[in-house]
Each structure stands twice: as structure tokens, then as C-alpha cells.
Structure 1
Amino acid sequence: MGNKTFSTTTLVATVLATTYGGGTLVRAVEQVYSSGLYWVILMILAGLNLWIISLMAIRMGPFMGHLSLPETMGTIYGPYARIITGISSVCSAIAVIAIQISVISVTISTIFPYHSYIITVLATLILIFYSTLGGIRSVTFTDVLQFITFTIIIPLVAWFMFLNTEKSIFEIIYFLKDQEKFQFNKLFQCNTKLISLIFLSLSYLIGYTKEPTIMQRIYMSSGPTQAYNVFKISTIFHYLIKVFIILISLFVFVKEPNLPVNKVWNYIPTHVPPVFNGFIAISLLAMTMSTADSHINNSAIIASYDILEKIIPRKLHPINHLKLVKWSSLIIGLLAMVLTFFCNSLLTLLKYSLNFSIPITVAPFVLAVFGFRGTSRTALIGMATGVLTILAWNKWVEPYIGIDGSFISMLANGLAMMAAHYFLKQPKGAGWVGPDDTLKQIQQESFRKKAEREERIKNSWMNKKKHFS
């Protein structure tokens, strides 16, 4: 946790660096190009996810001493819920790391034309070595440098793509208005694509509450107030970066509206000044490294601290946690590399990440943050319901309608937990609790500032009336 001494600026940078992986950039550019306004709206709605985290962060006073999301789940729901959450988080992280390895491999292969498998192995080993030796403090401060790198380069890419269109802003707007995929009247037609967009947006919105790396940034904060400020500021920069990514895709579409989706990103390096190609590669590598190293570091901690320590018999303790974390980093990185060999579709890997975690962990965690104190049995019933729902959905529903079932499975989890809590006999103390002392102080301070602001406005208005009377 770096002794919880990180500044707000540092935490904002590492939140955004972790949020924006290379896969996020490439996938967003490709999907805005191919899906048009549907994906633009999805990105705008999904941008609220960090704001939702800020609302949760201010309520996490009772959990600020924890090291991980599974530890928080274990504190509320018991050791089995902790282990299940840990396994779910590690599986989800492996899919995210695989996305970053895939992007790193593609980026490096454009510079060094070696066999893709060799580049993938080398990229994985670099990631593992870097994340294992550095620790969270190294990861955090290099995240700051990586964040600075890609926040400079992404706007420059957007500018070069704009110049490449050889059109004015008004000409671009008129051109896009004539394209069917960018027309609002087509967007709001009730069809499967719109329903799919809605459910994917909901998965994105709630999905960050299951991200151990994002939750870790809350635990790294000095308290709920700093965590709230970190994610509130991050939301603003989150949208600024999204705007430039959307512009890059739109400018490519205006210039070349008939590219195959898998050729959209490859178009960009060939239509910027040659000297800038290296900077684009550096930007992608910075984004992928900042996301991948955070997930490797965090999932290795979860594997050792929340899973293996609870499974290994006590007679084998004490455990050398540092060695265990390093070995966990190696194994997790290698598993992600193997997954990359079998699946290199960024969208498919993203869905794997959502399916491994949202149906299992989001509902019990959100309920815990907002004051629900259920039993282990209640949580396990909800988790089992979420797993069965997503398995059934992926087998019998999604192949026919193409709608992601993560959000629906999360709802099934939450409803099953509430049904189990209210219909089954519960021990004394189970149920809802009021806000903790920290939240009460924050709320009182907020009410006081609001009253002072209203009083200033009232006095200012009275003074103006006296002045003009």
C-alpha cells in the first residue's frame, strides 16, 4: 500500500494509467469506426464508472485498512467468499493481462519483424520481470510517467489524423451527418443492437467495482475523503482522454470510410510523420505496461494473501509472502501468455474479464459498501446464482441474441442474496447497518458547507436588493 503516503495527483495518474490500457485504445478506435454512434454513446456512459467509484469510496471508511477486495469480502461474508472472490479476481485479471500482452506483441512486431510467438513470450517475460521486482511503489510512480506519455501523444495523434482528413471541422460534421451509423434517428430504434448496447453500458458502469486494481487505489489512499477526490478528479480527465480517442476514430473514418475493422489501427501509424511512429509505439507500450503491471502486481497479492494463505494448512505457516507473490506473478503472467495464444480478439478477452467477475463479486461487494452485513451462506447463495446464470446465459441465450449477460447475472446474484436474507432464518446482527463515524463526519461537513454557501448567496442577494433600492 506504499504506507498510504501517495499524493492525490499521483493516485489520479495511476488510476488513469491503469484504466487506459493499450487494448482500451485500440479496441475503442476500432469499435467507434465500425459501430459508429452506438460505441460513442457507450464510451460516454462508461465514463461515469469512475464517478460511481467515487461515491462508493466515500463509504469505505470501515475497509480502508484492508489490502485487497477479497479481504473486504472475507471480513463481511467469511473465508469461503474471500477465496471465491480471489479466484474470480485472478481469472479476470489474467484476461486483462492477456489483452495487454496481445497489444504489446502487435506493437513490437511493427518495429521488429520477428515471429509473433517469440515477441509474445519476450513481452510477457518483460512484464513479469518489471512487475515482480518493482512492487507497488515502483508500479505507481512508473504509472505516473506512463500516464504523462500517453496523455501527450494521444492528442497529437488526433491532431495528425485531423490534418490527414484535409477537411474543415464543418465539412467533417456534415460528412458524418450523412452516414447512417452516425445518425441519431438510427440509434434509438428499438432493436437487438440497442438492447445489447444498453446492457454492455451497464456492465461497463458497474464493472469497475469488481476491479481489484481500481479498489486497490482506494485502499492506497489516506482515507475516504482523499479516495473520493482522487476518483472525482479522475472522472474529468477520463472524459478528456475519451474525447481524443473518439476523435481519432472519427477522423480515420472521414478519410477512409471503407477500411476493414482489423486494419483501422494499422492505418494510423502509416499516416503520421515517420518520426512520430515511434512515439505512437511508445504510447501504446506505456498504456499496456501501466495496466498490465498493476494487474500482475495486484493479482499476485490476491493469489498469495487471499487464496494460498487461506488454503495452505496452518502447520505450514509462516509463509514467505514476498517469495509467494513473486512466484504468483510468474505463474499469472505465463497463464495470460497462454491465453493470448488461444484467443487474440480484444473484445472476446474483455467479455471473459467481465464474465469471470461481475456475476460473482459486484453484488455482494456493493451491498457491503452500502451497509449490508449478510452471512456467509447468503453470499454463497448469491455467488452460486450468479455463476449459474452467466453459464446458462452464455450457452443458451447470448449465441442467439448477442447480448452480454454479465449485468443480468449480477442482478440475479443480488436478488438471490436478498431472497436468502429475508426468507431464511438469520443470526442476530445480520442485516443493514447505518453509516460509520467517518461517513457521518463527511456528511456533516458537506451539509455545513452547503448551508454556508446558501447563506452567502442569500446575503449577496439581500445586499444587491439594498444597493438597487
Structure 2
Amino acid sequence: MIYYSTTLLMVSVFLIFTLLVGLCATKKAITFREYAVGNKSFHTNTLVFTTLATIIGGGVMMFYIPRFYDRGIFYTISLIISYVIRYAMLSLLGLRMGPFMQHLSIAETIGSIYGKYPRLIVACLSICWMIVVVSVQINVMSSIIAMCIDSIDPRIFTMLATLILIIYATFGGIRAVTVTDVWQFITFTIMIPLLIKFVFIKTGKSFLEDFLFLQKHEKYRLSHFFEVDSNTQNSSLLLKFLSLAFFIPPPIIHKAYMHASPIQIRKVFLYVSLIIPLILLFISMISLFVFVGDPNLPEKAIWPYILADMPPVYKGCLMISVLGMTMSTADSNLHTASIMFSHDVVQIIRGIKRDPYIDQLRIAKLTGLFTGLLSMILTLYYLNLFELVNCVLQPLTLGMTTIVSPPFILAVFGFRGTPCTALVGMATGIVVTCGWYNWVESAIALYGVLWGILANGLAMMAAHYWLKQPKGQGWVGLDPQQKRIQQLIRAFKRYKKRLDLE
């Protein structure tokens, strides 16, 4: 009993402190816009931390550590490349988001260009995706608690942690979500090195011996990454991650609307694209040391091996780390889903054009509560984490990538289309993706999402130029704000070059 008391105490203190941080950051009287995106006065470092905390969910620990162990360096580097491309691309897009800085969701941005029907489709699909993401995080909480503490029912702590994040995310708004994200990200970055230290000590070897041992295995050699042509499985995996690099998570775009200017968006996402590889490399080190300790483990035995003989303090650190990751991802998704429902779905259904309408803030809070409870119910239906990810989350992610990303990227780059143009592109993209999965992928083992993305974009261009369009549609130039930003960037580059020459 004493063995578990330390772990329980650590986790209890973390959850209580998280609740207190969230409640202290809550403002009693705020407008809907403040509830949704704040007052746009967040510090750049704060935005970097909350964005990273939203990206790195608990599934990264539970789901990817076994994959790193099993597939080696190719899997790790492919995943890193995917993340870097995605957030470097968002950094570039940020400079052109000036016309959309007053929006509250990606659905509103798409709706402002393509009309209410594409906006409704994007909002509904995004809400479904975010509900499943929250459910995945709850499932991860339950799994790690069950593995670390078998003396109590894991559902007790899972429900407690879920209710805590629902409370501060629902009633505190974006400020409470942001402050708790920073706190959870700090705890995560402190705990991960401690876990790496424990797994390293468990190998019983020096760092040099570990390195030499890994070099004896082909899948952990750096040269293995470049053996794409000779390995169809590696080629398919790389294409899969390159395709998913174009997936734009709605909570991440929601973070962009919290920024004060396009330049701040560019800086934040640029920093994120540089920090994420470091985080993933630290997490992959756990897999590497587990492989050194026992290179013959099946995937299901990896976590039991890590937890075997783990002292209570380290188990507490592991649970706090995973809980922090899951809660910081879940709260952002809950908040974004509530904003999309009250701001996009309800507004379109009621046909209200002015913003905000009566009870919009109340509807957003009720939606956050309902979304959290619905995610808990979904978790009870899909008790297996891998089944939930593969059967529900992955198809929704593919649909989001195919349907949402092309029209959003085109809109940010200056394309202005009609509802018909967007709907033709969305329908074409999803048909091509489904057709590829049913008839092509089984034959050549290549991922089909990239072709769905291209089909969406090309179909939109074809519909725009083949169909009769009203005046004002098509490509537009930079607005005055975007031109000033480009001039500032060029001036800064010239100034920096002059300093280097001196």
C-alpha cells in the first residue's frame, strides 16, 4: 500500500494544482470573443507552449513509443519530417492570414470565402474529429493509470481528470486553457528526462555501449532511412507521413486566431517546427533504451517492460507526464469544438448574420460540457486504444485532410471561389481518396491521401475556370497589410545582411 501511496499522492497533487491553475485563470464576466480567442495580448512564448502542448498528446507516448521500437529510425525521421513540413508550412501561411485575423475558427475562414455550406461541412466534420481526439486522450489516461496502479479502479482517476479539464475548459475559456497548457507542458518537459534516465539505467550499460549495440541493428542505422527504393513498406510509410503533413488540425488554426498579427503567427509556428523534432527525439530515446534492454519484445510487451520494477516516484512522473499531455490536448479540442458549434453551426442554422447573437457564450459552455461527456461515452464503447485510433480517428483524419486542407490553403494564398467551386473540390477529393483505398492501395501499397488532396485542389481550379463565375472571384493580390509585412521582412533581411558584412 505504501508503494502506491507515493504515486497516488503525486498524481493527486498534480490534478488539484491543475484545477486551481485553471480556476484562477478564469474570468467571471467576459464576452464571447474573449472567451474564444482572448484579447490577442498573449506573449509569443506562451503561444509556443500552448501550441506544443496541444500538438503533443498522450497518444504520442502510448502509441508511438512501441512504433519507434518496432520500426526503428525510419519511422522516427519520417514522423519528424511530417511535423516539420506541417508547421513550417503554417508558418508561411501565417504571413498571409491578415484578412482572417478577426475570425474565430477555420470553418469561419472557409465560409467567408466559399459560403455557408462549405462552412457547415467543415464545422461538423471538425467537431466530430475533435470529439474522437478527446476520447483518445481519455482512453490514454485510463490505460496509463491501469498500468501504473492496479490497487484502485482506473476509471476513478480517469473520470476525475476528465471532469477537471471539462470544468476549466468549459467555464474558463481560452485563457484558462492557455494557462493550464503552459503548466502541463512545463511538467511534461521536466518529467520526460527522468523517465529517459530510468530506462537508461535499466539497460545496465554505458551510453557508448548502447550506441554500439544499436549500430549492430540495421533498422537503427541512419543509412536505413535512405533505403526507400528497395523497401516498399518504407516508401508507403514515408508517403503516408508526407500526406499527413498537409493535415491542418482545427485547434491549431484556432491558436493562430489568438495571435496579435501575422508576423507573430509566423514566429510561433516557426519555433514550433524547430522544437517538435527535439521533443520527438527525446521520446524516441525511451524506445531506443528499451530496445537495448530487450531487443525481442513484441509491441504489447513494451510498456509492461518499462513499468517492471519502476519505483513509485518514477511511476508518478510517468503518470503526470502522460496526464499533462492528454489534458493539454483534450482541453484545446473541447474549447475549439464548443466555439465551432456555437459560432458556426448554430449561427448557420439560425441564419443570424450579426455577431454575437444572444446566449452564444452560454451555448458554447454547454457544448463544451456535452462534448466532454460524449467523448467519455465514446471511450466506454471503444475500450481498446488502437481500435479507437485505427477505426475512428484515422478515417476522420483522412477525411479532414482531403476535404478541409486544400480550400483553406487556397483561400489563404488569395483564391476566392464560390460555394459550388468548394463543394466540387471536396466531393472530388473524398471520391478519389475512397477509390484509391478500395481499388489501388491494395495493389501497389501506396498511401492515397496525397492524391485526394491534389484532386481536391485541381477540381476546384477546373470548376472555377470551366464554370461561369460572378465578378470578384479568382485570385486576388496582397492587401496593404500583407504588402507592409513583406516590406518589413525584406528590410530586416537587408539590415541583417549588412550587419553580417560588417
Give the TM-score normalised by the residue count of structure 2.
0.85
Q: Is the 8 A contact 1:373 1:433 kept in 2?
A: yes
Query: In structure 2, what residue type is equivalent to 1:419?
Result: A
- Report Cα offsets for 1:261-316 as digits up to 9, x if no partner: 1222333233543322111101100100000010011011101211122113559x
| Structure 2 counterpart of 1:466 | none
Counterpart of 1:86 (choices 123, 142, 146) is: 123
Change (3 A) 1:402 1:121: farther
Once residues 144 and 88 of structure 1 are traced to their aligned partners in structure 2, the CA distance between those partners, rounded to angstroms, is: 28
Distance in 2 (CA, whole Å) between partners of 1:335 and 1:189 is 45
Contact between 1:87 and 1:307, CA under 8 Å: does it hold in 2?
yes
Aligned partners of 2:64, 2:237: CA distance in 1, in Å?
Answer: 14
Residue of structure 2 aligned with 1:141, choices 165, 176, 179: 179
Residue of structure 1 equivalent to 2:349: 311
Partner of 2:56: 20
Following superposition, the deviation at residue 98 of structure 1 comes to 1.8
Sort the Cα spacing of 1:154 and 1:204 in 2 relative to 1 into closer, same or farther, 3 A: farther
1:32·1:249 contact (CA, 8 Å) conserved in 2? yes
Going from structure 1 to structure 2, the CA distance change for 1:58 and 1:271 (only over 3 Å counts) comes to: farther
Shift of 1:438: 2.2
Structure 1 counterpart SS, 2:260: coil
CA distance in 2, matches of 1:319, 1:395: 47
TM-aligned CA distance change 1:414 to 1:304, over 3 Å: same
Question: Does structure 2 conserve the Cα–Cα contact (< 8 Å) formed by 1:82 and 1:306?
Answer: yes
Q: Is the 8 A contact 1:269 1:280 kept in 2?
A: no
- Which residue is 2:403 aligned to? 360
Deviation at 1:257, TM superposition (A): 1.1
| Aligned residue in 2 for 1:372 | 415
1:164, CA displacement in angstroms? 1.8
Q: CA deviation at 1:379?
A: 0.5
Quick check: 1:92–1:356 contact (8 Å CA) kept in 2? no
Q: Distance in 2 between matches of 1:12 and 1:299?
A: 21
- Equivalent residue for 1:337, pick from 376, 387, 391: 376
| TM superposition shift of 1:350 | 4.5
Per-residue CA deviation, residues 155-210 of structure 1 (Å, 9 max, x unaligned), is: 22112222222223332222222223224347424343123212221133212xx2
Does the Cα contact within 8 Å between 1:203 and 1:354 map onto a contact in 2? Answer: no
Moved more, 97-106 or 268-277: 268-277
Any stretches of 5+ residues in structure 2 without a counterpart?
A: 1-36
Q: Deviation of residue 121 (structure 1)?
A: 5.3
Conserved? CA contact 2:194–2:317, under 8 Å: no
* 2:234 maps to amino acid: L
Q: 1:200 aligns with which of 237, 240, 245?
A: 240
Distance between the aligned counterparts of 2:245 and 2:418, measured in 1? 27
Q: Is the 8 A contact 2:98 2:262 kept in 1?
A: yes
Which of 431, 436, 452 pairs up with 1:388?
A: 431
Given residue 47 of structure 2, which amino acid in structure 1 is its aligned partner? L
State the percentage of identical aligned residues. 45
Bigger Cα displacement from structure 2, 391-400 vs 319-328: 391-400
Q: Is residue 255 of structure 2 the alignment partner of residue 212 of structure 1?
A: no
Instruction: Kindly indicate whether the alpha-carbon contact (under 8 Å) linking 2:203 and 2:289 is maintained by their aligned counterparts in 1.
Output: yes
Deviation at residue 328 of structure 1 after TM alignment: 1.7
Structure 2 residue 452 is matched with structure 1 residue 409:
yes
Question: Who is 1:328 aligned against?
Answer: 367
| DSSP 3-state at the match of 2:376 | helix
Structure-2 separation of matches of 1:285 and 1:304: 28
The equivalent residue for 1:449 is: 492
Spell out, residue by residue over 1:188-239, the C-alpha distance to the aligned partner (whole angstroms, 9 max, x if none): 24343123212221133212xx211111111101111111111122222222
Is 2:74–2:224's contact at 8 Å kept on the other side of the alignment? Answer: no
Q: Which residue of the partner structure matches residue 135 of structure 2?
A: 98
Alpha carbons 1:91, 1:356 under 8 Å: kept? no
- The residue type paired with residue 144 of structure 1 is V
Q: 1:240 to 1:191 in 2, by over 3 A?
A: closer
Query: For the residues of structure 1 that align with 2:224 and 2:272, how far apart are their CA atoms?
Result: 32
Q: Distance in 2 between matches of 1:400 and 1:334?
A: 41
For 2:120 and 2:179, the matched residues in 1 are separated by 30
- From 240, 245, 256, the counterpart of 2:283: 245
Alignment of 1:105-124 (within 5 A): 105-109=142-146, 110-111=148-149, 113-114=151-152, 124=162
Task: Using the TM superposition, name which of 164-173 and 107-116 deviates more.
Answer: 107-116
How far the C-alpha of 1:400 sits from its partner, in A, is 5.7
| C-alpha deviation, 1:130, in angstroms | 3.5
Matched residue type, 1:413: N
Shift in CA distance, 141/411, structure 1 to aligned 2, threshold 3 Å: same
Q: 1:133 to 1:425 in 2, by over 3 A?
A: same
Cα distance in 1 between the residues matched to 2:95 and 2:484: 11
The aligned counterpart of 1:43 is 79
Q: SS at the partner of 1:3? A: coil
Q: CA RMSD in A?
A: 2.3
Count how many residue pairs are aligned between Structure 1 and Structure 2: 456
Corresponding position: 1:439 with 2:482: yes
- Could you tell me which amino acid in structure 2 is paired with residue 138 of structure 1? A
In the alignment, the residues of structure 1 paired with residue 100 and residue 307 of structure 2 have an alpha-carbon distance, to the nearest angstrom, of 45
Point out where structure 1 has 5 or more consecutive residues left out of the alignment: 461-469
Instruction: Say if 2:228 and 2:235, in contact at 8 Å, map to a contact too.
Output: no
**Does the 8 Å CA contact 1:93/1:353 hold for their aligned counterparts?**
no
In 1, are the aligned partners of 2:113 and 2:417 still within 8 Å (CA)? Answer: yes
State the alpha-carbon separation in 2 of the partners of residues 262 and 56 from structure 1.
Answer: 40
- Tell me the TM-score normalized by structure 1: 0.91
One-letter amino acid of the counterpart of residue 435, structure 1: L
- One-letter amino acid of the structure 1 residue matched with residue 244 of structure 2: Y
Q: In 2, distance between residues paired with 1:421 and 1:372? A: 10
Secondary structure, in 3 states, of the residue corresponding to 1:47? Answer: helix
Counterpart among 288, 295, 299 of residue 337 in structure 2: 299
| C-alpha contact 1:164 1:255 (8 A) present in aligned 2 | yes
CA distance in 2, matches of 1:185, 1:220: 41
The whole-number CA distance in structure 1 between the counterparts of 2:309 and 2:447 is 35
Question: Within 2, Cα distance between the matches of 1:260 and 1:205?
Answer: 29
Q: What displacement does 1:85 show?
A: 0.8
Q: 1:41 to 1:112 in 2, by over 3 A?
A: same
> Partner residue of 1:422?
465
Cα gap change, 1:392 to 1:265, in 2 (>3 Å): same
Q: Kindly indicate whether the alpha-carbon contact (under 8 Å) linking 1:44 and 1:239 is maintained by their aligned counterparts in 2.
A: yes
1:284/1:203 CA distance change after superposition, 3 Å: same
SS of residue in 2 equivalent to 1:4: coil
